[in-house]
Chains A and B, each alone.
Chain A
Amino acid sequence: MMWYDRMLSVDRRWIYLILAVAVIVTLVLPVRIPVSISGEVRAVYDFVDQMRDGEIMHLAIEYDPSTMAELHPMAESVMRKVFEQNGRLIMSSLSQFGPAMADEMIQRIAREYGKRSGIDYVFLGYKPYPAITILAMGTDYRVPFPIDYYGADVDTLPIMSGIRNFDDIRGVVALCGGNAADMWITYGNAKYGMPLALGITGVMAADYYQYLQAGQIFGLIPGIKGAAELEELTGRPGEGARGIPYQTASHAVILVFIVLTNIAFFAKRSAERRAGALH
């Protein structure tokens, strides 16, 4: 068996093992890799940074535990920054497995900053059919959410006084792990025209730059790199920053494998052509 045949028939479990070792080693070693800030993430940071005292923003936590690795650091950064600016938050969680996860984060960070439910923030919770819920929120928050996640009548909450729909808030930052991003663009921004930024997983990122380029969203936080950039800007490195070293290592390993495999592929093709020419 020639060297290129051996390379092309390597058991995939060796690749899994090498990748696992690369991730584990970079997690154990105290490596810090600088993160460059992209314009699309800075736009989201600036949007929150320029919030006035008491101004209200909607943070949509539309993901569940399967995608929290990339999106939770973004949610924490945005929430902390808003509270540091003395802004206020309306939060929703339109992903069916997400509300409990969102509630844990909200309560933890609110306690950290001494913020009070109903006054400094309101967590509306979950309603099915995100498209219909977004359409209804654009008319009146009280239509889909007459009560908040904790059972309080939304009309009795001080934060909701004078707030009817998207026209009365600064804008929406939607952190989405699935097609909720399309729904915010189509049913939210296209219908109501409110400022919209998206935080999305890496898998989805390539598909949403077109909306950034067209101006339908003013900012985009793509995957864990975007989360790390946001943490760099807010000055509070967290899980996003912790992820960059093993991201770098794993990408480097995959690049090496791709190059080696391509060398083997072209070597094999060249050998087969030479063998064909001889016969």
Chain B
Amino acid sequence: MEAPSFWPLFWGGIASVVTLGIFSFLYRDNVVYKFIERLWVGITTGYWTMLLFHTSFQDKVWTPIFLQGKFWYILPTVLGILMWFRLSKRYGYLARYALAFYIGISTGIYIPLAIKASVLYQLHGAVRGIDATVSGLMFTLALIALICSLSYFFFAREHRGVLGVTSKVGIYTLMIGFGAGFGMTVMGRVALLGHRVTFLFDYGNQLVRAMF
């Protein structure tokens, strides 16, 4: 196998040092970790700022208005400028006009779709025929769990009698759900750890190949 060239090794080395520096926090807080953390914040802020400049100002303001002659883009540009008046004590009220426009449009688009996606489709999914199959049994269990979980959040009556039993089942259902969420979270975090360890291993192999 061909030995890796200098620049991939160099940048891989930087990435390895930064990775180990971040992991050093697990032992205790230290100056190397602090430096790398601030380095990361600085790089991402700079990258994000330039990305925003190019995609929001250059693509949405400069190019359409001054290079393509699309003068109707002046209206949203004025609204964007009005947002900056939020920083002024005297003229801060002007930002409310732009904010009202933005909130009005975004809620007008979002609310109907959110109700459709998060409520109506979910209700539809919870209401269907029960049949004598494995799928039907699993659906029945899920339906019972759903009703019991919802009954736990019914606070208009004291949780006694039938409501007491269903809310207890609901609590256990919720705990099973949280446990599953915890397990999936552990899997996700360990995957990130494993990916970094894999990277360090592979870089070590490359370094040894390059040196010998």
Q: Is B51 an interface residue (CB 8 A)?
A: yes
Q: Which of B81-89, B110-118, B155-163, B165-173 contacts A (4 or more CB under 8 A)?
A: B110-118
Within 8 A of B (CB), among A126-165: 126-128, 131, 135
Q: Are A225 and B187 in contact (CB under 8 A)?
A: yes
What is the interface of chain A mostly: helix, strand, loop, or mixed? helix
> Which stretch from B2-10, B92-100, B188-196 is at the chain A interface?
B188-196
Q: Given that A191-B113, A214-B124, A243-B194 are contacting pairs, would A251 and B51 also be in contact in the complex, using a CB cutoff of 8 Å?
A: no
For the complex, is B55 an interface residue (Cβ under 8 Å from A)? yes
Q: Is the CB of B122 within 8 A of A23?
A: no
Between A and B, how many residue pairs show CB distances below 8 Å? 122
- Cβ of B197 and Cβ of A69 under 8 Å apart? no
In the complex, residue of chain A having the shortest beta-carbon distance to the beta carbon of B188: A202
Partner of A27, one of B51, B185, B197: B197
Distance of A131 Cα from B117 Cα, bound (Å): 14
Residues of B near A7 (CB, < 8 A) are none
Query: Within 8 Å of chain B (Cβ to Cβ): is A171?
Result: no
Closest A residue to B185 by beta carbon equals A203
Chain B nearest Cβ from A29, distance in angstroms: 12
CA–CA, A190 to B109, complex, Å? 12
Decide: A70 and B121 in contact? CB cutoff 8 A. no
Q: Is there contact, CB below 8 Å, between B187 and A202?
A: yes
Are B193's CB and A23's CB within 8 A?
Answer: yes
Using known A-B contacts A96-B51, A186-B117, determine if residue A23 contacts B188 with beta carbons closer than 8 Å. Answer: no
Specify which of A20, A202, A205, A222 lies most central, judged by the most chain B CB atoms within 10 Å of its CB. A202
Docked-complex contact A206 and B181, CB < 8 angstroms: yes
| Cα distance A225–B184 in the bound complex, in angstroms | 10
**CB distance B201 to A27 under 8 Å?**
yes
User: Which A238-279 residues have a C-beta within 8 angstroms of B?
Assistant: 239, 242-243, 246-247, 250-251, 254
Candidates A24, A202, A242, A243; contact of B184 at CB < 8 Å: A202
Name B116's contact: one of A28, A190, A239, A250 (CB within 8 Å). Answer: A190
A205 vs B181: C-alpha distance when bound (angstroms): 8
Assembly CA distance A206 to B185 (angstroms): 9
Q: Are B194 and A206 in contact (CB under 8 A)?
A: no
- Asked whether any CB of chain B lies closer than 8 Å to the CB of A3, the reply is no
Nearest Cβ on chain A to B156's Cβ, whole angstroms: 25
Q: CB < 8 Å: which of B118, B142, B188, B195 contacts A223?
A: B188
The reply to whether the CB of B73 lies closer than 8 angstroms to some CB of chain A is no
* Residues of B109-151 whose CB lies within 8 A of A: 109-110, 113-114, 116-118, 121-122, 124-126, 142
Q: Give the chain A neighbours of B197 by CB distance below 8 A.
A: 20, 23-24, 27, 246
Q: Enumerate B173-211 residues with CB–CB distance to A below 8 Å.
A: 177, 180-181, 183-198, 201
**B185 & A186 in contact (Cβ 8 Å cutoff):** no
Interface centre among B126, B190, B193 (most CB of A within 10 A): B190
- The yes or no answer to A86 lying at the interface (CB within 8 A) is no
Contact at A186–B114, with CB atoms within 8 Å? yes
Q: Does B153 contact A (CB under 8 A)?
A: no
Any A CB within 8 A of the CB of B30: no
User: Contact mask B51-70 → A, CB, 8 Å, 1/0?
Assistant: 11001100000000000000
CB-CB under 8 A for A201 and B188, given A13-B26, A186-B113, A190-B117: yes
Q: A70-B191, A215-B121, A216-B125 are in contact. List 9 more A-B contacts (CB 8 A).
A: A69-B192, A128-B51, A187-B109, A187-B113, A190-B121, A202-B187, A205-B184, A207-B181, A246-B194
Binding site for A on B (CB under 8 A): 26-27, 44, 47-48, 51-52, 55-56, 109-110, 113-114, 116-118, 121-122, 124-126, 142, 177, 180-181, 183-198, 201
18 CB-based A-B contacts, threshold 8 Å = A69-B196, A97-B44, A126-B55, A131-B110, A186-B114, A186-B118, A190-B116, A202-B184, A202-B185, A202-B191, A207-B181, A214-B121, A214-B122, A215-B125, A216-B125, A243-B191, A251-B190, A254-B186
